[in-house]
Structure 1
């Protein structure tokens, strides 16, 4: 996901532009050096995704999700044009892309919503995705096309592939899993609707999957946490703390399973970033985080993101973080 202002950045289809990021660093987290030391302590080669204690604990305490074989591909987004209503997604458990777990396992009775960032069809619907929606604090574009690697592998394809792998892993743990979209709609859903799907499902945890579109040389993952917002339709005050706990678990497990280091260009080396300008977080009434799994515009990160083997590790790392959070 690229940014140009609050929320998802409107980038050019497949070759998005990048602008400066505005973030608030996660509170009470040490700097890059301490993050690096924590990451080394949990067995990786980079910085850690939270406070030293929090992410170290997250990595060691995450309950492993069952490994599975790689599956599908695809999902991304971007803006452009005149107002038109978005086709409604069905946020219930009978929605396409949803499914119950095995009926047993540590996550039996838990509902997890996976939000594959963007949609492969967004670039064909510039007018629809550029229409403004209310995110509580202000209005933002419905969605964006997302970014892509230099070779044309789209963020939208990446996010949907990781979401499918996560769904399998989490269902094996007994969870009921819903996707906000499964390549089953022409575009979207809009960012406000993505939040609503998790809310209506009464999800125990929601994770939005993305990949960044920053400058070459910028590497690593970061987890985006909701900050306190109380304006208009947005009120995150009740979910800030549990979302941080979820984010720390996900960051710690992602480091351990993938071997990837936290971002070297945002988050001060912690792998955690707090934002109050994203509609998908502002409008959520359940614990929710975003994860930018790497930078598609950097050749080294792109080599990972385009690897099915690595995407399976990414799915497992995120899933283990969710399992650890839900078993607390």
Structure 2
């Protein structure tokens, strides 16, 4: 998603300190990120080709702390196999509810008046929704997010989870608004909720980042009860997403950690259940867009996200 409109304003200034969020992914450096760097150095492409020195350097500067994530296998562009820490589907998530929020809606382009309507996000008002971004070739974020959401739903249902989508492309024909997206997760009493996006930044800005809710207590927003579990969910999603997809942490958001905390997102501010956003990559960067438009890589993206969610649910 581009940072324009509802839930997409420029990130709020952050204090230049490294705390739990940096530590969360720092453990991936000696294993996961090092494995990715070695692979890129010997010429692997994983669907995008090349390496990203800026993102890698930022991540390598972070302190190291042990985490329960293994190094990624060589990213050869094929669908990743299930990791040893993620058992085969066995129905063990029966009784767990996951809400998947595919960012934007393919119909938003035809309903600009409706999506421009301001809604209350607790701290202030924002537009209902936006159209989202796209690759330079016209592959839209809304198509990408819905595709990954469908793949993710299938994987989680194999594990026995009950999965609800905030929308399914044509129902409703636009939106829903950002406040409604949060309320859908709340009404479902979701054990975990995730909003799937892709960014629209400049060429050369690449990598994924997971957005965590800040502690907000204003108006209708009170994220204090979900900040801790959402951080846990976000760290697990980020670690597994890196390991399975080989996509590096963002080189332009999160100081190389792949984690960003925001207090201006209605989808997080109004949530009463553990919830995070994931920006899977930058649609405007040629290397990232090659991955985002790859059917095989989108399957990897869904697998990586699912393994983070499964890990969270089994420990919660």
Normalising by structure 2, what TM-score? 0.82
Aligned mates of 1:30, 1:188 — CA distance in 2: 33
The alpha carbon displacement at 1:7 in A equals 1.3
- List aligned pairs for 1:182-261, cutoff 5 A: 182-183=168-169, 184-261=171-248
1:135 to 103, 118, 121: 121
After superposition, give the CA deviation of every residue in 1:172-218 in whole Å (9 maximum; x if it has no partner). 00100000000122100000000000000000000100000001000
CA contact (8 A) 1:5 1:22 kept: no
For residue 86 of structure 2, what is the aligned residue in structure 1? 64
> Which residue in 1 is equivalent to 2:167?
181
1:218 to 1:167, Cα distance in 2 relative to 1, 3 A: same
- Residue 116 of structure 1 is matched in structure 2 by 102
Instruction: Report the RMSD for the aligned CA atoms in angstroms.
Output: 2.6
Taking the TM superposition and a 5 Å limit, the aligned residue runs for 1:1-328 are: 1-4=1-4, 7-8=7-8, 20-22=10-12, 24=14, 27-30=19-22, 37-38=29-30, 40=32, 43-45=35-37, 46=56, 47=59, 52-53=64-65, 56-58=67-69, 63-64=85-86, 105-183=91-169, 184-328=171-315
Where does residue 51 of structure 2 map in the other structure?
A: none
Considering fraction of residues, name the structure with more helix: 2
Contact 2:241 2:305 in 1 (8 A): yes
**Structure 2: which 5+ runs fail to align?**
38-55, 72-82
Contact kept? 1:62, 1:324, Cα under 8 Å: no
Distance change (3 Å), C-alpha of 1:52 and 1:193: farther
Mark the CA change 1:134 to 1:227 in structure 2 (over 3 Å): closer, same or farther: same
Change (3 A) 1:239 1:62: farther
Counterpart-to-counterpart distance in 2, 1:41 and 1:140:
37
Go from structure 1 to structure 2 and tell me whether the alpha carbon gap of 1:130 and 1:308 turns closer, same or farther (over 3 Å shift): same
Distance 1:227 1:59 in 2: 28
Structure 1 pair 195–59 and aligned structure 2 pair: CA distance change class (3 A):
farther
Deviations 1:72-94 (A, max 9, x none): xxxxxxxxxxxxxxxxxxxxxxx
Aligned equivalents of 1:132, 1:230: Cα separation in 2 = 20
1:53, distance to aligned residue in structure 2 (A): 3.0
**Alignment coverage as a number of residue pairs:** 280
Determine if contact 1:222/1:291 at 8 Å carries over to the other structure: yes
Q: Distance in 2 between matches of 1:39 and 1:214?
A: 28
8 Å contact from structure 1 (residues 137, 232) kept in 2: yes
User: Structure 1-normalised TM-score?
Assistant: 0.79
CA distance in structure 2 between the partners assigned to 1:58 and 1:51 by the alignment: 16
